Chain A
Amino acid sequence: MIRFLRRLARRPLTILGLLLVGGHLLVAAIAPWITPHDPLRLLDAPLEPPTAIFWLGTDELGRDFFSRLLLGGQISIVAAASAGLIAAIGGGILGLATAYHRGLFDDVVSRLVEMKLSIPSILLVSLFVTGFGQSLGVLIVVMSLIYMMGVIRTSRAMGISLMEQGYVKAAKLRGESATTIVLREMLPNIADLLTVEFALRTSSALLLVSALSFLGLGVSPPTPDWGLMIQSGLQSIRSEPWLILAPALCISTLVIGINFATEGVADLLGLEAARGATGH
């Protein structure tokens, strides 16, 4: 542990990433208690410049912009992290199961993975939003499926090499069931990989959610959300540029933080993180 920390100390970008993520999570968690004003209350003063009372002024409907900024990450973070978590765990188990069974099951899953990789994420979400309506639940389910496919690929590759390990062969000889071997013997051994996958998929999901909100297909108004705030800020890009710059800075620092932190930690854990963000 101490060696891990010492090696971490030599990586300023990783530390910066961890600090950015930690800061964002802290603000998102305590935002409801620290917002100076009600983020939904319409004041009779739209597009006010920043003052001592309204630190970043008011938006086009006269709502306190600073309060909305503090709350603007909550929904995206919760949606993206849920999707990342479901994708990591579900994809991990499915990937190992395909590695264990191979054969027809493996072929079918591989074809599904390939199919998903050929359809742009935004279009996939659009299809489901057209079919099932626009809701946070639909969004989380679709994003989980999208990112699960990538996790299946990496954990299947790890699983195939694990199958050659002595303890897996021993468990087979003991007559353990496939379910037990996959869940008890193999899954704990790819925990590091799945943690990194979780972080990477969450950062991709954050980019996707914010892009969808910007397009008007993600988080619905009047809920404060960075993607939506940038979209509505475009109307006053010439006169009140901070209405765009502030949420742009928030979403960018959050995703940059996740990617810096993940890359560094994956490197320290000895995992290949060079794959980077695998398609937004």
Chain B
Amino acid sequence: MLIAIARRILLSLLTLLMLATFIFVATEIMPGDALDVSLSADELSMIPPERLAQMKRDLGLDRPPHERFGAFIAGIVQLDFGRTLISKTPVWTIVGYPMRNSLILAGAVLVLAFPLALAIGVTAAVWRGRTVDNVVSTGAVIGYSIPEFVIGTLLVMAFAVAWPIFPATITALTRDPAATLLAASPLAVATVLIGSIAYLARLVRTGMVDALASDFVERLRLTGIPEWRIVFVHALPAAIIPSLTAAALYAAALVSGIVVVELVFAYPGLGQELVRGVTRREVHVVQAIALCSATIVVALNLLADLAILALDPRTRRA
């Protein structure tokens, strides 16, 4: 058991190290260096060579790649992502609060999505092949086939323009407390929620259909246990455990969705900083956002793995 846990944790750390390496290579080595990337060709030609050399020294870009990589990793471990290239602000002060805000949005969505998806998925599986199931299954496909920004825009049209009961854009500030932020963004939460429920309910339904058709449930039915007990006490845990891994993987898709939805509603989260970072070519900001979100996803996957270890004795070997 302890070995299995240690192995999972080590693998997660290895994945993170590979990610950091990959991010470093993708942004700092391939096409030139961070300075070439953040300045346009025009700007580069305007700067005298001595000044450019000085700028590179200031940023530590004159050092060989392996030394810079060492510094990069050392920085990450101390949660220091460096400073922006132009204004020299520490990256952490730019990314910190927006990251908290995105987590608040993600948390609110998940807290609502899990129980709703469970209820919908179980209902569809129990009445498999009936009208409820068909509506749920078809609705789920439609739900995740429509881009998040389209869902968001349609909700704005319906509930902020045609029937103005909610604000179209969010007026809350970056450093407002969580409650203020959430109270100001019902449509943003609803938008992400629709896609999440579509995905998760389908997952629950598939797991539940398999569980209800399995031999052990068949045997329980023969013993005369009431059907509701079979569904909730025996089949549901068997259905949820395998879907936990898939649900944790969904975290990556959730982050992508949140980034887009934040821009639709002007929510003060990572999405805005990301687009600003990419368009201004602030390499360190984009690196920090990518790394932090990936760390959260890796951590969630680890948690799902550990939960499965705790709940399902069969996985403890190996």
Binding site for B on A (CB under 8 A): 13, 111-112, 114-115, 117-124, 126-132, 203, 207-208, 210-211, 214-217, 227, 230, 234, 237-238, 241, 244-245, 248, 251-252, 255-256, 258-260, 263, 274, 276-277, 279-280
**A280, B146: Cβ atoms closer than 8 Å:** no
Q: Flag whether B253 is at the interface (Cβ < 8 A).
A: yes
CA distance A207 to B149 in the complex (A): 10
Q: Give chain B nearest CB distance to A214 CB in angstroms.
A: 5
Nearest B residue to A112, CB-CB: B18
B252 contact from A118, A208, A251, Cβ within 8 A = A118
| Given contacts A131-B30, A241-B161, A252-B147, A118 and B15 within 8 Å (CB-CB) | yes
Chain A minimum-CB-distance residue to B206 = A274
Please give the distance in Å from B263's CB to the nearest CB on chain A. Answer: 6
- Whether A127 and B26, one on each chain, are in contact in the complex, defined by CB atoms closer than 8 angstroms, is yes
B145 within 8 A of A: yes
Query: Is B224 located at the chain interface by the 8 A CB criterion?
Result: no
* CB-contact partner of A210 in B19, B142, B147, B279, under 8 A: B147
Interface residues of B (CB under 8 A from A): 11, 14-15, 18-19, 22-23, 26-28, 30-31, 37, 138, 140-142, 144-150, 153-154, 156-157, 161, 168, 199, 202, 206, 249-250, 252-253, 255-257, 259-260, 263, 271, 274-275, 277-279, 281, 283, 286-287, 289-290, 293-294, 297-298, 301
A121-B283 Cα distance, complex, nearest whole Å:
17
* Chain B residues near A203 (CB-CB < 8 A): 145
Known A244-B157, A263-B141, A276-B140; further 11 A-B contacts with Cβ < 8 A: A115-B22, A120-B253, A120-B259, A120-B294, A130-B286, A131-B26, A227-B149, A248-B153, A252-B150, A255-B147, A274-B206
Please report the C-alpha to C-alpha distance between residue A131 and residue B29 in the assembled complex, in whole angstroms: 9
Q: In the bound complex, do residue A126 and residue B278 qualify as a contact, i.e. CB atoms below 8 Å apart?
A: yes
Checking B153, B199, B277 against A276 with a beta-carbon cut-off of 8 angstroms, the contacting residue is: B199
Note all chain A residues with C-beta closer than 8 A to B31. 131-132
Contact indicator B260/A248 (Cβ below 8 Å): no
**If the complex has contacts A120-B252, A276-B141, are A115 and B26 also in contact, measured as CB distance less than 8 A?**
no
Chain B residues in 8 Å Cβ range of A123: 255-256, 259, 274, 286, 289-290, 293-294
Cα of A255 to Cα of B149 in the assembled complex, Å: 14
Could you tell me if A214 and B37 are in contact, using CB atoms closer than 8 angstroms? no
The answer to whether A127 and B286 touch across the interface, beta carbons within 8 angstroms, is yes
Provide 9 A-B residue pairs closer than 8 Å at the C-beta atoms, listed in order of the A residue: A111-B15, A122-B259, A123-B293, A126-B290, A127-B286, A127-B287, A130-B281, A217-B278, A237-B156
Among candidates A126, A238, A244, residue contacting B153 with C-beta atoms closer than 8 Å: A244
Given contacts A128-B26, A280-B253, contact A248 B141 (CB under 8 A): no
Q: Report Cα–Cα, A227/B260, bound state, in Å.
A: 12
Are A215 and B252 interface neighbours, CB within 8 A? no
A118 in contact with B37 (CB, 8 Å): no
- Give the complex CA separation of A227 and B263 in angstroms: 13
Per the bound structure, the CA–CA distance linking A111 and B301 in Å amounts to 14
Top 8 A-B pairs ranked by shortest CB distance?
A279-B253, A120-B255, A256-B145, A255-B145, A122-B256, A120-B256, A118-B297, A119-B294
